[in-house]
Amino acid sequence: MHQSRTQSRSQNQADLEQGLTDANNEHKKNSNNYLSDKSIGFQILFITITCATQLIAQGQFGMLIIPLNDLGPWLGTEDAGQMSWMAASYGLTLGVMVVVSGRLGDILGPKLIWSIGCILGIASNIGSGFCKTPIPFDICRAIAGIGSALSLPNALAILGRTYPPGKMRNLVFAILGALAPSGFLIGGAVAAIFTVLVDVRWIWWFTAMFTFVFLISGLIILPSDRRTSSFSSSSMSQKVRSFDYIGTILLVLSMGLFNFVWNQSALVGWEEPYIYILLIISMIGFTLFYMYERKIDTRALIPPEVLSRQNLLVYLTLWLGWMSFGTYLLYTKLFIYNIRGHHNALIITAQMAPLMPGGIAAALLVPILIHRFAGHKIFLIAMISFFIGDLFAALTPVHQTYWGLTFFSLIIVVFGPDLSFSTGQLIVSNSVEHEYQGIAAGIVSMITNYSLSIGLGLAGTIERYVKGPENESPEDILNGYRAAFWLATGLAGLAVIVVALFVRMPKQSHGHEKDKETSKELGS
């Protein structure tokens, strides 16, 4: 009998080991096999193309913020509210559409949706260069935001499906995270060069040409959707029928109206009745969306699999931190331009340059930190970085040297977005099944980009009522900017409290460590 139990135990262990081997082989077949037989040069091109999507998306935000005071006169306006919409229109559609894009990529294939996004980006940037007035320009920037929304989460999905959980995946996501502040600054530098030395129109035409090069490269280098999509056996009609049209309409309208309310209120004030009406309609839309998504469950635009308690806490933390960061970026630029009197776009870019090395260093720390510290500890460091950077900006004296609080705020604050974005992507991506990685990546990108735009609206509203709509003296303008910085500090402080008291995330494992642990336990 003892021999029989021993044989049975040996057979169970053998079956387990064979099962783990088969699962590992299947995982490699589905995700990592595409690059396993490729050269180092090909792999570098693959990483460059996918990560450049982040560069292009964030770069276009920098192209609006850095030369904003030059874009207004080019389009025949110096109105602060209209110039605010030039930046907000891009962030609005990028934030609203990015989660829809992730779901479309999961259904139709990430490469297809990525390609469509690049095409929209090319067309909208060409159109932006021909605009003469603010409204057509805002429309073109909104379309550019849709293009970035379609391409960015699907580039993330391609990366997530290509690299299994492990060191290489962490490194690639860290590179992607580093390109957020770097992309903002590079885009701003490109815009400043064309603004000062060439012509404003060439900002957008150059961006269109740059995007075209990466589109052609991506069509050649990126894997076919038949390789990466888990819906490859379904017919196109079945895929189209499975899409959550009602949920998409409810979410897009609700998010669009909610964003419009906060950015428009900074321009016209809350005295206008339609501001309240649209806010109420947006809240009703969010409620209907939540009820409808619960009803349809697995077919939902945002399936319950990506809404675990851990993920929801990640989303909330990102929301608060990135709202403060968007406010910080815009008002630091305005402080340098309007308060300290540096009107040359190249000088403004140079003064904001610490965002790049600090951001790269922060993002590349993530693969090291993620396996040594629990995720909530990294998030706490990120939120503290947001808080300290915003606090330094709020306290900066007008006549203090640049190398004082301004410089140190730039060095410190950039650790917030990079640590939080890279860590959040890894945690959320590793917590869901293969087929939901696109939508999970889309939600993280939606929150970070949408909250940037919402933060600008909130800050603009606070600035308007502190400064006064008709008060344009230097002292009044400074008071408005201070109020915006204190709002950002408060948002970041709230994020610190939430993480410290409620967010708890486990330390991430390396690759298939869980399988090994399971094998060891059953074999003992």
Give me the DSSP letters along 151-167.
HHHHHHHHHHHHS-SSH
Taking the C-alpha atoms of residue 264 and residue 284, their distance in angstroms, rounded to an integer, is: 19
What is the maximal distance between C-alpha atoms in the chain?
94
- SS3 of 388, please? helix
Q: With respect to residue 47, please indicate whether it lies within any of the assigned structural domains.
A: yes
First to last CA, the chain: 19
CA separation, residue 79 to residues 142, 327, 360 (Å):
19, 19, 35
* Whole-prediction pTM: 0.80
Taking the C-alpha atoms of residue 402 and residue 506, their distance in angstroms, rounded to an integer, is: 40
Helix axes of 437-467 and 415-430: crossing angle, nearest 10 degrees: 150
Q: With respect to residue 33, please indicate whether it lies within any of the assigned structural domains.
A: no
The CATH number assigned to the domain holding 399 equals 1.20.1250.20
Tens-binned pLDDT, residue by residue, of the chain (524 aa) = 444 444 444 444 444 344 434 434 444 444 445 777 788 888 888 888 888 888 898 899 889 989 988 888 898 887 777 787 888 889 888 888 887 887 788 778 889 999 999 999 999 999 999 999 988 999 999 999 999 999 988 888 888 778 877 777 777 877 777 777 788 889 999 999 999 999 999 999 999 999 999 899 999 988 887 755 554 455 567 767 777 888 889 999 999 999 889 888 888 888 889 999 999 999 999 999 988 888 886 677 787 778 877 788 888 889 999 999 989 998 999 999 999 989 898 999 999 999 888 877 887 787 788 778 887 888 899 999 999 999 999 999 999 999 999 999 999 998 998 888 777 777 777 777 776 766 776 688 788 888 888 888 889 889 888 887 676 788 888 999 999 999 999 999 999 998 888 877 766 655 444 444 434 433 44
Q: With respect to residue 18, please indicate whether it lies within any of the assigned structural domains.
A: no
What are the tokens at 379?
């998030």
What are the tokens at 43?
């792999």
- Range of the structural domain that residue 117 is part of: 39-225+238-510
Half-sphere exposure (Cβ direction) of 358: Cα atoms closer than 13 Å: 21
Taking the C-alpha atoms of residue 340 and residue 191, their distance in angstroms, rounded to an integer, is: 21
Please, is 4 exposed, middle or buried when counting C-beta atoms within 10 Å of its C-beta (0-12, 13-18, 19+)?
Answer: exposed
Q: With respect to residue 24, please indicate whether it lies within any of the assigned structural domains.
A: no
Split into its structural domains, the chain has a count of 1
Taking the C-alpha atoms of residue 204 and residue 200, their distance in angstroms, rounded to an integer, is: 8
CB count, 10 Å around CB of 484?
A: 29
Count helices and strands in the chain by DSSP H and E runs: 22, 0
Q: With respect to residue 346, please indicate whether it lies within any of the assigned structural domains.
A: yes
